[in-house]
């Protein structure tokens, strides 16, 4: 089945710097890739997603890039702020196994220091 790897597991940056989190997936048929942010004591919140027919998507300070050939996708956060501190999860869904089933990466704990 699908397997999603995520790196790094922890990331510390200074406020204003950029942060990049990378994920790789194993199933070339996967076609939907969401990113979730989970703050302490809360459920995961969708922050951005991308579909396989698009190479890049941007929403203000957040962007996601997808390389289908290499089977990896990345989250880019620019001008980081302390409120960006959270755990970020990538995920992938494969129409081959189940269009609605998400396979999650292991998570990245991002700390933004003022």
Partner 1 sequence: SAVISQKPSRDICQRGTSLTIQCQVDSQVTMMFWYRQQPGQSLTLIATANQGSEATYESGFVIDKFPISRPNLTFSTLTVSNMSPEDSSIYLCSVLPGGETQYFGPGTRLLVL
Taking the C-alpha atoms of residue 36 and residue 46, their distance in angstroms, rounded to an integer, is 4
Q: Least Å distance between CB 16 and partner 1?
A: 28
Largest CA distance in the chain: 44
| Ramachandran bin of 72, using left for φ above 0, alpha for ψ from -120 to 50, beta for the remaining angles | beta
Q: Least Å distance between CB 112 and partner 1?
A: 20
Q: Least Å distance between CB 33 and partner 1?
A: 10
35/112 with CB nearer partner 1 = 35
Residues 15-74 close enough to bind partner 1 by CB under 8 A: 32, 34, 36, 41-46, 49, 51
Tokens coding 8: 């790094």
- Residue 106 within binding range of partner 1, rule CB under 8 A: yes
- Residue 97 within binding range of partner 1, rule CB under 8 A: no
Going by C-alpha positions, the residue among 34, 20, 41, 40 that lies closest to residue 86 is: 40
- Residue 99 within binding range of partner 1, rule CB under 8 A: yes
């Amino acid at each position: 089945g699908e397997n999603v790897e995520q790196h790094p597991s922890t990331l510390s940056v200074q406020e204003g710097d950029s942060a990049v989190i990378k994920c790789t997936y194993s199933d070339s048929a996967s076609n939907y890739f969401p990113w979730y942010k989970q703050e302490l004591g809360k459920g995961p919140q969708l922050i951005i997603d991308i579909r396989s027919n698009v190479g890049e998507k941007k929403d203000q300070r957040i962007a996601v890039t997808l390389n289908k050939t290499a089977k990896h996708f990345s989250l880019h956060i620019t001008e980081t702020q302390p409120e960006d501190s959270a755990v970020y999860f990538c995920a992938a869904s494969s129409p081959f196994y189940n269009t609605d089933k998400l396979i999650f990466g292991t998570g990245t704990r991002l700390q933004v220091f003022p």
